[in-house]
Amino acid sequence: MTSSMEVGVAGVGLFMPDFPTVADWHARRRSNEPQLPTGSRLDRRARGRSSVLTKALAEAYFEAADAAGVELGEGSAVFGSALGEVGTMLGLLNQMWREREEPSPMAFALSVHNAASGVVSIATKNRGFTTSLGADHDTPAMALMEAIGLIAERGEPVVVVCGEEPTPTALVPDDEAWELAAMAVVLAPLRDDERGSDVRLRGPFKGAPTLAGPELPPMVARNPQVGLLDLICAIEAGKSGILALDRGRGAGWCMEVLFAHG
């Protein structure tokens, strides 16, 4: 088994069309109509040109970072997505081969998987560490693993943000489709005096889950990043146990959620 270490949770955030904030999600207060992320805290030019995924990741990032009191101009961030900016890529291919036009240079620049991490670092004027990774349905677990490595190395909080834009319909069958979702968790190092308090996480490791993710609508549950939503729900539930981060569709990575009185 891969060794694991304990870290604290300092804040969470999310964006889903029906639940644009964590408060909406915790209250299960559904929007009157599905919302689109605005990316309101991004640089104005980037806001106009960024994809729905980049904006959703940014919304989740800022909500979690604010909740944790993270200094935005410093610190580290790990962005995760299985397909990344695939919609932008398909748009470029469409432009090149259906419309027979030269691709948009700005769309090309924003088609990279790290578009969100780039525009967020610009918006926050953060010259620190940022990365962008993918591992299909194991993306949440591996983003958490990268963050835990960073905490071990630097002893500072890390914002982990994972999201997926709506299914690229040309490439994925309808019965596998999902809707937009982005989730964020701020992990923080434990100080010695904090070991008996707050919620702590241990992992990721391959193990046998004792906690189940909540029942979710299929279009949410099929999102490859749902493991991070499950983690937010487990933290919300306040119960200790081992949670699968992949809903059985990845390599079996789990996280142990620990409460002092759970």
DSSP tag of 19: B
Q: What is the largest CA-CA distance in the chain?
A: 63
Q: Are strands 76-80 and 158-164 parallel, antiparallel or unpaired?
A: parallel
C-alpha 262/C-alpha 260 separation (Å) is 6
Minimum gap (Å) between residue 175 Cβ and other proteins: 14
179 near other proteins, rule: CB under 8 A: no
Minimum gap (Å) between residue 206 Cβ and other proteins: 7
Q: Which run of H or E residues covers position 159?
A: strand 158-164
Minimum gap (Å) between residue 232 Cβ and other proteins: 21
Q: Which position has the token pair 């081969």?
A: 97
93 near other proteins, rule: CB under 8 A: yes
C-alpha 20/C-alpha 116 separation (Å) is 18
Minimum gap (Å) between residue 235 Cβ and other proteins: 22
CB closer to other proteins out of 115 and 229: 115
CB closer to other proteins out of 20 and 224: 224
Which 148-167 residues touch other proteins, going by CB under 8 A? 148-150, 152-153
How many chain residues interact with other proteins (CB under 8 A)?
65
C-alpha 11/C-alpha 68 separation (Å) is 4
Could you tell me if 123 and 41 are in contact, meaning their C-beta atoms sit under 8 angstroms apart?
yes
- 104: CB partners within 8 A, 6+ apart: 92, 95
CB closer to other proteins out of 31 and 169: 169
Positions touching other proteins (CB under 8 A) are 1-5, 46, 82-84, 89-90, 92-93, 96-98, 102-105, 108-115, 117-119, 121-122, 124-139, 142-143, 145-146, 148-150, 152-153, 168, 170-172, 204, 206, 251
